[in-house]
Chain A
Amino acid sequence: MNNNSKEPLFHIVKRGTLPWYKAWGIRLLAVVIALIVCAIVTMTVTGENPIQVYATMIDSSFGSERKVWILAQNTAMLLGVSLAVTPAFRMKFWNIGGEGQILAGCLAAAACMICLADTVPNGLLIVISAVASIIAGAIWGGIPAFFKAKWNTNETLFTLMMNYVATQLVAFFVIIWEVPKGAGQIGIINQSTQIGWLPQIGGNKYMLNVIIILVLTVAVYIYLNYSKHGYELSVVGESERTARYVGIKVEKVIIRTMLLSGAICGIVGFLLVSGTDHTLSTSLSGGRGFTAVMISWLAKFNPIIMIFASMLLAFLDKGASAISTNFGLNHSFSDILTGIILFFIIGCEFFISYKLSFRKSAGKEAAENV
């Protein structure tokens, strides 16, 4: 009381690195708290007891073999896009144009399937459309990178705009190729002949997709952690000046990384069109480009952890939409729940990198007064 200088109740101190188990413990705790908050929100809206709500969620994703496969497919696609944006993020290049890059890939794959259907053998067609998708995605990612490297154009906003250019381009081709004329949609491409469709392995539509993405995960992990390229892009991300000083060609690294980033999005687009959906529409990418940004960041840009992060988000989306159907809410409820969980995970990062140190004397005084 006699101390006149005002000391704040607490101040914030930067932590050294926490051991990994503590850091992940904090994140896990955040997810648990988030789930509890979600349960409370759901309870107030539906009036059901939360255990039943979570039972519904779990059932919707793990209730049958088919449901598990759908979860695996959704996880794989999300994971694919997250893998794509990760190299760019490590470079501190904020690629939020995953959406557009996927659509570019989808468009290329669909174009090959439609235009080359009767001219080349099926196996060759699949290869051509895969290559075309990869190139299309890479171009879509490469354009903003070129301007970033050359004139330091803001990449966040550029890639964002490219999304809508891609969307309109797809809308344009959907009308050109629409079947039947005036329908405004393409329908299933080559439904009777199945030309250009990826073969099914083990009688399951999704198995091949999942395997390809898993291989890709390992490849990206190795690329980022054990290759010269991966090292270079990390250096560019940490400090561009250092990179220049040690002789890394920053422009080249930026363009190269974004070509790769776009190319992986292109692969995802190809898998969506040739592997599962066999159609083309503007909603094919379904917001994955944006969700992937969050997944990649939640996983701290680590491809292996990304598997779990994308599974969590795929599960949430599926589960929340099941809640909506079962309890007669609309589907957007899942967005609210996803948002709440994301806020908690985003917020908890603070407690990993900083700690609150409380005023010491205040504690003592309080003790004396008691």
Chain B
Amino acid sequence: MFDIVSFFPRAVMQGVPLLFGGTGEIITEKSGNLNLGIPGIMYVGGICGVIGAFLYEQSAAELNSFLAVAIPTLSCLLGSLLMGLLYCFLTVTLRANQNVTGLAMTTFGIGIGNFFGGSLIKLTDAEVPSIALSATSKVFSKSLPFADNLGWFGKMFLSYGFLAYSAVIIALITAYVIKKTRVGLNLRAVGESPATADAAGINVNKYKYIATCVGSMIAGLGGLYYVMDYACGVWSNDAFGDRGWLAIALVIFSIWRPNLAIIASILFGGLYIVYLYIPAGTQLYMMELYKMLPYLVTIIVLVVVSMRKKRENEPPAALGLAYFREER
């Protein structure tokens, strides 16, 4: 029988990195930047967290749980901020093509992740090709203290590390800011029609820079969550896989709404692992077809949204275009 109590938490844990990536990309896309470098940024976020944690674990004899969280988180944010700045410098200041820049960033970011990951693995002289930071990971994945006493409810809703909850909170805050505040209105204006926004006295480049950098930092946290919580502090090269691209798919799936993205990310997480729960018996090859599901569902949503042509469901009108004031 399908076991929802064990399935749901796993779906959530798969979904959280996607939610971080998706929320980050939504903020970015709202400013008109289609950042295809998100997969690379998430790798960089992950590896920077690992490096921070690694150095701290090496240097400190006794792990202070506050520092054990703060150091990796800060280094993760710093790493992804740098990636975001690089993207902005190229696409906003130098007005380069966003698709090409994004793809180059992905190559670069994955390269950075695997290179430093590989080098750290070498440093530790481990026999297996991975780094285990179990002490740091324990702090990251500490669940709420009363989760165990609440039976299925605790297991389904309270058993996650703090980053999972912050993902939901960040998504909710983002939804609020975009929808209800002045800043959000300006941001949407920049994404829909930068020339109009400029004429209204909004500093277009500033909004693009800030939105993209904040977006990158949030996306980077997704990489950090994956390593520290989901993978129990074990970094192995290429383990993160194609989740970055799924995060971009999530943006479309949730039609550019962070609050929808929360539910959608859990659904995506579920689709990502559903093949483990469908009894395949001897027909192992069917599993490969089930793994297709998240992508197929995204395509269907993409098509349906474009067919319905509702204004509020469309991507930002100036998505993917560089803005130059003197251009008509």
Contact = CB atoms under 8 A, between A and B. Distances in A.
Interface of A: 12-14, 94, 96, 147, 151-154, 156-158, 160-162, 164-165, 168-169, 171-173, 175-176, 287, 290-291, 293-294, 297, 329-336, 338-340, 342-343, 346-347, 349-350, 353-354
A330 B118 contact: yes
B307 interface: yes
Contacts of B97: 297, 346, 349
6 contacts: A12-B326, A291-B107, A293-B99, A332-B113, A335-B112, A339-B111
Contacts of B237: 330, 332
B104 A342 contact: yes
Given A161-B295, A335-B111, 14 more contacts: A153-B306, A156-B34, A157-B252, A169-B288, A293-B100, A294-B100, A297-B97, A297-B100, A332-B112, A332-B118, A335-B115, A343-B101, A347-B90, A349-B97
Contacts of B286: 172
Contact of A158 (B96, B245, B292, B302): B302
Contact of A290 (B103, B111, B284, B309): B103
Interface in B86-114: 86, 89-90, 93-97, 99-101, 103-114
B108 A340 contact: yes
Contacts of B52: none
Contacts of B119: 329-330
Interface residues of B, number: 55
A161 B298 contact: yes
A342 B326 contact: no
A350 B94 contact: yes
B101 A153 contact: no
Contacts of A171: 288, 291
B100 to A, nearest CB: 5
B303 to A, nearest CB: 6
B111 A338 contact: yes
Contact of B99 (A96, A168, A173): A96
B53 interface: no
A335 B108 contact: yes
Interface string B288-303: 1101100110110011
A339 B105 contact: yes
Contact of A293 (B90, B103, B320): B103
Interface of B: 34, 36, 86, 89-90, 93-97, 99-101, 103-115, 118-119, 237, 242, 245, 248-249, 252, 284-286, 288-289, 291-292, 295-296, 298-299, 302-303, 306-307, 309, 315, 320, 324, 326-327
A151 B111 contact: no
The 7 closest A-B pairs by CB, nearest first: A335-B111, A339-B108, A330-B118, A332-B114, A350-B94, A175-B285, A342-B104
B101 A346 contact: yes
A169 B292 contact: yes
A46 to B, nearest CB: 11
Nearest to B97: A297
Given A156-B34, A342-B107, A333 B100 contact: no
A293 to B, nearest CB: 6
Contact of B242 (A164, A330, A346): A164
Nearest to A89: B99
A182 to B, nearest CB: 9
A332 B327 CA distance: 40
Contact of A94 (B99, B309, B315, B327): B99
A175 B284 contact: yes
Nearest to A177: B285
B115 A332 contact: yes
A147 B324 CA distance: 31
B292 A164 contact: yes
Contacts of A12: 324, 326
A151 B307 contact: yes
Contact of B103 (A294, A333, A353): A294
A153 B302 contact: yes
